[in-house]
Amino acid sequence: MDTKKKELIGDFKNGGKEWQPKGKPEEVRVHDFIDRELGKVAPYGVYDLTTNTGWVSVGIDHDTAEFAVESIRRWWREMGQVTYPSVRRLLITADGGGSNGYRVRLWRRELQKLADELRLTVQVCHLPPGTSKWNKIEHRMFCHITANWRGRPLVSRQVVVNLIGNTTTETGLRIQAAIDENAYTSGIKVSDEELASLAIERDAFHGEWNYRLIPRDNDK
């Protein structure tokens, strides 16, 4: 799982080539100043190595840990629980920084909420600093999304969703995508007391990068 870089929405130049009728090139803006009405989108992806499938939440607000965990939740509801109805533990591999960084307290708090809600143990393995280029999602999903929309101006949020959802490969990659219209507040602080209440277990090997959130008994 990972976040793709934010993309400007509007008739902006998008690197690459696309066939158009002769003499009818698609016009784009000269400058890439943000359109205040259309803004940007932040695609956050979940890639399943086993099934070669992916889910992308197209966020329209801040890229926060709440947004990241909500994307995992939506993947589970739309794809995960159907494929793995009897699973008791969910393994997440993520970069070491950004909204799902290993130092982000909000990320761990929101994962605890997810574990409690789904009654699943959530195991997290972060890629060490400087190794995000080996994240499988970059080479097996996001690169194909970028290639699919190359040369096409991202004129609306729905265009982004459609282009992502229509991305396929000869090896059978399938992706579902949807807009996340929720608002996410940036700068949320998680107190020491909240952090201490988490049911977190750390691995013996680099426990700061490898840990699990255990479902808490909500009846207590």
State the pLDDT confidence band at 130, using cuts at 50, 70 and 90: confident
| Tens digits of residue pLDDT in 182-212 | 999 999 999 999 999 999 999 999 999 999 9
What lies within 8 Å, CB to CB, of 196 at 6+ separation is none
Burial-class residue 165 by CB neighbours within 10 Å (0-12, 13-18, 19+). middle
What is the pLDDT, as a whole number, of residue 9? 81
| Residue 33, pLDDT above cutoff 80 | no
What is the pLDDT, as a whole number, of residue 220? 44
The pTM of the full predicted model, rounded to 2 decimals, is 0.87
What is the pLDDT, as a whole number, of residue 191? 97
Tokens, residue 117? 């809600």
Q: In angstroms, rounded to a whole number, what is the distance separating the alpha carbons of residues 163 and 47?
A: 17
What is the pLDDT, as a whole number, of residue 179? 97
**CB atoms near residue 124 (< 10 Å):** 21
What is the pLDDT, as a whole number, of residue 217? 83
In terms of pLDDT, which residue wins out, 27 or 145?
Answer: 145
State the pLDDT confidence band at 26, using cuts at 50, 70 and 90: low
| Residue 115, pLDDT above cutoff 90 | yes
Mean pLDDT over 121-143 rounds to 92
What is the pLDDT, as a whole number, of residue 218? 63
State the pLDDT confidence band at 21, using cuts at 50, 70 and 90: low
Residue with tokens 């799982």: 1
| Tens digits of residue pLDDT in 36-75 | 777 889 999 999 999 999 999 999 999 999 999 999 999 9
Domain boundaries, the chain: 2-17+27-186+197-213
Edge-to-edge, what's the strand order for the sheet holding 89-94? Answer: 89-94, 121-126, 210-213, 200-202
Mean pLDDT over 126-154 rounds to 89
Secondary structure, 3-state, the chain: CEECCCEECCCCCCCCCCCCCCCCCCCCCCCCCCCCCCCEEEEEEEEECCCCEEEEEEECCCCCHHHHHHHHHHHHHHHHHHHCCCCCEEEEEECCCHHHCCCCHHHHHHHHHHHHHHCCEEEEEECCCCCHHHCHHHHHHHHHHHHHCCCCCCCCHHHHHHHHHCCCCCCCCEEEEEEECCCCCCCCCCCHHHHHCCCEEECCCCCCCEEEECCCCCCC
Residue among 94, 71, 78, 69 nearest 174 (CA): 78
